[in-house]
Amino acid sequence: MEFEKKRRLMVENQIVRRGVTDERVIQAMLKVPRHLFLEEAVWESAYGDFPLPIGEGQTISQPYMVAVMTEKLELDKDSCVLEIGTGSGYQTAILAEICGQVFTIERIAALEKRARKKLEELGYTNIAFKIGDGTLGWSGLAPYNGILITAGSPKVPELLFSQLKEGGRMVIPIGNSFSQILTVVRKKDGKKIEEPCFGCTFVPLIGREGWEDA
Ligand code: SAM
C-alpha cells in the first residue's frame, strides 16, 4: 500500500475515530510523511498504532499520542511553541505545520543532527534547534504560547513553567519512569492549573529538573 493511503487510514482509524477533532492537527498528520523520520527497514510499520525505536534507546511516539498532545496545546499560526525532546523530529514537523515558530531541544546530539537534517530537507524554515538539557528551557526566546514535553517527568519543571506565557498551556507526561499521566498545565494568574488526562508511557526526561542519568 502506498504511504499516502496508509497515512489516511492512520488518521481515520487511530486519530479521528478516537476523538481528535482539531482540523489543523488532522491536516498536519495527513501531510507529514512519518516514514521519512524512521530507518527504511521499518517504513512498512511507520503508520502502525504504536511507538517505534529511533536509535540511542529512544522512540518516536505512537501517532495518536502525537495528535492528542498537539491538540491539547491549542496552537495556531500565531503561536510560538517550545518542544523538549526532538527525537526523530516527527512531532516537531507536526508543530511546524501548525505554528508560526517552533523551538526544539534534544539532549542526544546524534538524534538532533539527524532530525535537523531531515526537517531541513523537507523545507521547514520555522524551526530552531538546540542540543542540551531541555528541563532548563530556552530563556532567551521565552515566553511561549505552548510547551510540549515528549518524555516522562517526575514533576512540572519550574524553569520551563516560568517560560510559559500567561494563559499558555504545557503538555507533559508526569509520573515515575515506567508510567505517567498525560497532564495539561495551564498558567492562570501565574499559577499552575493541572488537568490530568490519561495514562501513558514515555522514555524518561533526563536533566536537572527531570530524572538523573542512569
Ligand atoms: N517527539 C519525538 C518524535 O516525534 O520522535 C519523540 C521523543 S522521545 C519519546 C523523547 C526524547 O526526549 C528523546 O529523544 C530523548 O533523548 C529526549 N530527552 C529526554 N530528556 C531530555 C532533556 N532533558 N532535554 C531534551 N531532550 C530530552
125, 92 in Cβ contact below 8 A?
no
Q: What is the average pLDDT value for the chain, to the nearest integer? A: 97
Residue 45 CB contacts under 8 Å (≥ 6 apart), including other chains: 52
Do 42 and 111 contact (CB within 8 A), yes or no?
Answer: no
**CATH code for position 151:** 3.40.50.150
> What single-letter amino acid sits at 6?
K
pLDDT tens, 29-78?
Answer: 999 999 999 999 999 999 999 999 999 999 999 999 999 999 999 999 99
d(CA 137, ligand 1 centre) in Å: 13
CB atoms within 10 A of CB 135: 22
Q: Average pLDDT, stretch 12-18?
A: 98
Question: How many CA atoms, within 13 angstroms, populate the side-chain half-sphere of residue 48?
Answer: 11
Phi and psi at residue 68, in whole multiples of 5°?
Answer: -70, -40
How many domains does the structure of the chain reveal?
A: 1
Mutate to test the pocket of ligand 1, among 65, 163, 206, 213 (most ligand atoms within 8 A of CB): 206
Question: Considering the domain boundaries, does residue 192 fall inside one?
Answer: yes
Catalytic amino acids?
A: 61
CB of 135 closer than 6 angstroms to any ligand 1 atom: yes
Which pLDDT does position 1 carry in this prediction? 66
Domain for residue 212, yes or no?
Answer: no
